Amino acid sequence: MTRELTVIVLAAGNGKRMKSKTPKVLHTIGGRSMVGHVLTAVEALQPDRVVAVVGHAREQVIGHLEQHHTGIAIAVQEEQLGTGHAARVGLAASGATSGDVLVLTADTPLLTGETLVWFMEHHREANRSVSILTAEVPDPTGYGRIVRGEGGDVRAIVEEKDASAEERAIAEINSGILAFDLDFLASALPRLGNANASAEYYLTDAVKLAAADGVRTGGYLLADRIQTEGANDRVQLAALGRELNRRIVERWMRAGVTVIDPASTWIHVDVDLGQDVTILPDVQLLGATSIGEDALIGPDVTLTDCEVGAGAHVVRTQATLSVIGDGADVGPFAHLRPGTVLGARGKIGGFVETKNAEIGEGAKVPHLSYVGDATIGEMSNIGAGTIFANYDGVKKHHTTIGAHVRSGSNVTFVAPVTVGDGAGTGAGSLIRQDVPPGAMAMSAGPQRVIEDWAQTRRAGTAMAEAAARAAAEGVLVAGAQTSGEHEESHTGGPGVGAADSRRSES
Residue 143's closest CA among 27, 35, 229? Answer: 229
- Kindly tell me which of 162 and 270 has the beta carbon lying closer to ligand UD1: 162
Is residue 26 close enough to count as binding ligand UD1 by CB under 6 A?
no
Residue 452's closest CA among 461, 436, 464, 439? Answer: 464
Which one-letter DSSP state was computed for residue 55?
B
- Whole-angstrom distance, CA of residue 292 vs CA of residue 307: 8
- Kindly tell me which of 78 and 150 has the beta carbon lying closer to ligand UD1: 78
Is residue 418 close enough to count as binding ligand UD1 by CB under 6 A?
no
33, 115, 204, 483: which one contacts ligand UD1 (CB under 6 A)? 204
Total residues at the site for ligand UD1 (CB under 6 A)? 28
Is residue 174 close enough to count as binding ligand UD1 by CB under 6 A?
yes
Is residue 172 close enough to count as binding ligand UD1 by CB under 6 A?
no
**Of 367, 397, 404, 486, which one is the catalytic site residue?**
367
Q: How far is the CB of 186 from ligand UD1 (least distance, A)?
A: 18
Is residue 81 close enough to count as binding ligand UD1 by CB under 6 A?
yes
Residue 409 CA: distances (Å) to CA of 204, 365, 445, 505 = 73, 11, 15, 26
Identify the H or E element spanning 466.
Answer: helix 462-472
> Given its phi and psi angles, is residue 316 left (phi above 0), alpha (psi -120 to 50 degrees) or beta?
left
Q: How far is the CB of 132 from ligand UD1 (least distance, A)?
A: 9
Task: Please give the angle made by the CA atoms of 143, 144 and 148, to the nearest 5 degrees.
Answer: 135
- Kindly tell me which of 86 and 352 has the beta carbon lying closer to ligand UD1: 86
Identify the H or E element spanning 104.
Answer: strand 100-105
Q: How far is the CB of 230 from ligand UD1 (least distance, A)?
A: 5
86, 192, 280, 359: which one contacts ligand UD1 (CB under 6 A)? 86
Binding pattern for the stretch 40-59 against ligand UD1, x by CB under 6 A and - elsewhere: -------------x-x----
- Kindly tell me which of 86 and 342 has the beta carbon lying closer to ligand UD1: 86
Q: Give the number of other Cβ atoms within 10 Å of residue 389's Cβ.
A: 18
- Kindly tell me which of 120 and 158 has the beta carbon lying closer to ligand UD1: 158
Is residue 107 close enough to count as binding ligand UD1 by CB under 6 A?
yes
7, 10, 163, 249: which one contacts ligand UD1 (CB under 6 A)? 10
**325: which residues sit within 8 A by CB, 6+ positions away?**
309, 312, 341, 342, 343, 344, 345, 346, 361
- Tally of residues, the chain: 506
Are 203 and 84 within 8 A, CB to CB?
A: yes
Are 349 and 329 within 8 A, CB to CB?
A: yes
Is residue 130 close enough to count as binding ligand UD1 by CB under 6 A?
no
Q: Using CB under 6 A, which of the segments 105-113, 121-129, 148-156, 419-427 binds ligand UD1? A: 105-113
* Known catalytic membership, residue 367: yes
The residues binding ligand UD1 (CB under 6 A) are: 10-13, 53, 55, 77, 80-83, 85-86, 105-107, 143-144, 157, 159, 173-176, 202-204, 230
**Residues with catalytic roles:** 367
